Amino acid sequence: MAAIQKIGVIGAGQMGCGIAHVCAQAGYNVQVFDLSQDRIEAGLATINGNLARQVSNGKLSEDERKATLSRITGSADMSDLAPMDLVIEAATEEEATKRKIYAQLCPILKPEALLATNTSSLSITRLASATDRPERFMGIHFMNPVPVMKLVELVRGIATDETTFTTAREFVATLEKTVTVAEDFPAFIVNRILLPMINEAIYTLYEGVGSVEAIDTAMKLGANHPMGPLQLADFIGLDTCLSIMQVLHDGLADTKYRPCPLLVKYVEAGWLGRKSGRGFYDYRGETPVPTR
The set of catalytic residues is: 120, 141, 153, 191
Distance CA 18, CA 118 (A): 11
Distance CA 160, CA 126 (A): 12
What residues have CB less than 8 Å from 281, skipping those under 6 apart? 212, 230, 231, 234, 288, 289, 290, 291
Find the helix or strand (DSSP H, E) in which 137 lies: strand 137-142
- Exposed (0-12), middle (13-18) or buried (19+): which is 46, by Cβ within 10 Å? middle
Distance CA 118, CA 19 (A): 9
Distance CA 109, CA 102 (A): 10
Q: Are 128 and 157 in contact (CB under 8 A)?
A: yes
- Is residue 27 left, alpha or beta, with left meaning phi > 0 and alpha meaning psi from -120 to 50? left
Q: Are 233 and 245 in contact (CB under 8 A)?
A: no
Strand 281-282 versus strand 289-290 pairing type: antiparallel
The alpha carbon dihedral of 127, 128, 129, 130 has a sign of positive
